[in-house]
Amino acid sequence: MKAYAKLNLTLDILDVRGDGYHELRSVMQQISLHDTVIAKKTSGTGFKFICKSGEIPRDGKNLVCKAALKMITEYKIDRGFSIKLVKRIPVSAGLGGGSADCAAALRCVARLFKIDVSAERLIEIGGGLGSDVPFCLFGGTARVSGAGERLERLGAHPKCCVVVARPPVSVSTGEAFARFDKSEKSGRTDATAAMVRAIEGGNLKKIADSLGNDFLPGAIAEYPAVGGLIECMRQNGALNSSMTGSGPSVFGYFETYAGALGCVKKIKSKFRDVKEIFAARVINGGAARGFADE
């Protein structure tokens, strides 16, 4: 099963809630960059996790393992099974790779054991495992609010391509929130509302113009490579460019795949230390049955 990466087309950070989390508003979009999750029955009992990536923890911190154990407990699974994860989405990059893997693992286990679970219930389970997991189950294009638990389906995103590049820096989400809380917030706009209108209108240029991320000013100040990649994309054919999540990955909008590939080539020649760069397409998920496309 494919576990698609996500982009935050917008990310508006609001007040801190009573539970200590910030209230967020975002438009999230799946893209064709994906990991692969495969579940198989095994002899005996228990669960085995298989992944060749050295960046993925094998203990209880791993969201795939959390998903498997949650399904075992929730549905009293007494058969042995394994989950194999093939990683392509960069780790800790703001692309939701761990959440996408978690969502795919939940669905794989449900399918493997023919568990009759509604999309709503699976999204509820996913929300208890990670804030981006509900969207990764939902898929496509959606307005997301709260701490990630409130989802609203948006219309089909116009066909286009994106270039995603991860600069060689590490970003702590907690530190990103701390920088934002200390920053000057005057002049901020409701990027999410503008993005929703642009998507409803189906105009790719207006969608690109509506990109916004409240973490971006702080990220550019802290990590000059973020701003450098954004400017490079804009100078090499992107309709616009922004950052996803708390970073550090940035992305640019392109009308054609050829244009996206041209920008990839330019970035590779100019930013030799950027090793993770991809051209991808937007995914309009299969919302009719409540789940993302596979």
Q: 31: pLDDT confidence band, cut at 50, 70 and 90?
A: very high
Cβ burial of 18 (10 Å; 0-12, 13-18, 19+) is exposed
6's enclosing H/E stretch is strand 2-16
The whole-angstrom separation of Cα 136 and Cα 268 is 29
Q: How far is CA 109 from the centre of its chain?
A: 21
How many domains does the chain fold into? 2
Residue 28, token pair as written in the block: 């999230």
Q: 289: pLDDT confidence band, cut at 50, 70 and 90?
A: very low
Owning domain of residue 167: 161-281
DSSP-derived 3-state class of residue 247: coil
- In a shared domain, residues 176 and 239: yes
- In a shared domain, residues 11 and 132: yes
Reply yes or no on whether the pLDDT at 165 is more than 80.
yes
The whole-angstrom separation of Cα 214 and Cα 58 is 33
- In a shared domain, residues 14 and 144: yes
Mark whether 132 is an active-site residue: yes
At which residue do the structure tokens 């939701």 appear?
Answer: 96
* 180 in any annotated domain: yes
* 290 in any annotated domain: no
Tens of pLDDT, residues 188-236:
679 999 999 999 999 999 999 999 999 999 999 999 999 999 999 999 9
Q: What is the pLDDT of residue 151?
A: 95
Q: 294: pLDDT confidence band, cut at 50, 70 and 90?
A: low
Domain at 40, CATH number: 3.30.230.10
- In a shared domain, residues 76 and 191: no
Please answer whether residues 282 and 251 qualify as being in contact, where contact means their C-beta atoms are separated by less than 8 angstroms.
Answer: no
Q: Which residues pair with 253 in a beta bridge?
A: 162
Q: Which of 12, 35, 101, 132 is catalytic?
A: 132
Q: Which of 116, 135, 154 is where one domain is finished?
A: 154
Interhelix angle 119-127/97-112, rounded to 10 degrees, is 140
| Nearest alpha-carbon partner for 290 in 157, 159, 155, 122 | 122
Please answer whether residues 225 and 168 qualify as being in contact, where contact means their C-beta atoms are separated by less than 8 angstroms.
Answer: yes
DSSP calls for 70-97: HHHHHHT--SEEEEEEE--SPTTSSS-H
- In a shared domain, residues 73 and 214: no
- In sequence order, which ranges of 38-148 are alpha helices (DSSP H)? 63-75, 97-112, 119-127, 133-138
Residues 6+ apart with CB under 8 A from 248: 93, 94, 166, 167, 169, 170, 171, 219, 223, 225, 226
Q: What is the pLDDT of residue 187?
A: 59
Q: 116: pLDDT confidence band, cut at 50, 70 and 90?
A: very high
Tens of pLDDT, residues 258-284:
999 999 999 999 999 998 999 999 998
Q: Which of 2, 6, 101, 114 is catalytic?
A: 6
More confident residue, 187 or 7: 7
Reply yes or no on whether the pLDDT at 87 is more than 90.
yes
User: Considering only 6-15, 70-79, 98-107, 277-286, which range has the smallest mean pLDDT?
Assistant: 277-286
Residues 6+ apart with CB under 8 A from 269: none
Mark whether 214 is an active-site residue: no
- In a shared domain, residues 19 and 58: yes
Tens of pLDDT, residues 93-114:
999 999 999 999 999 999 999 9
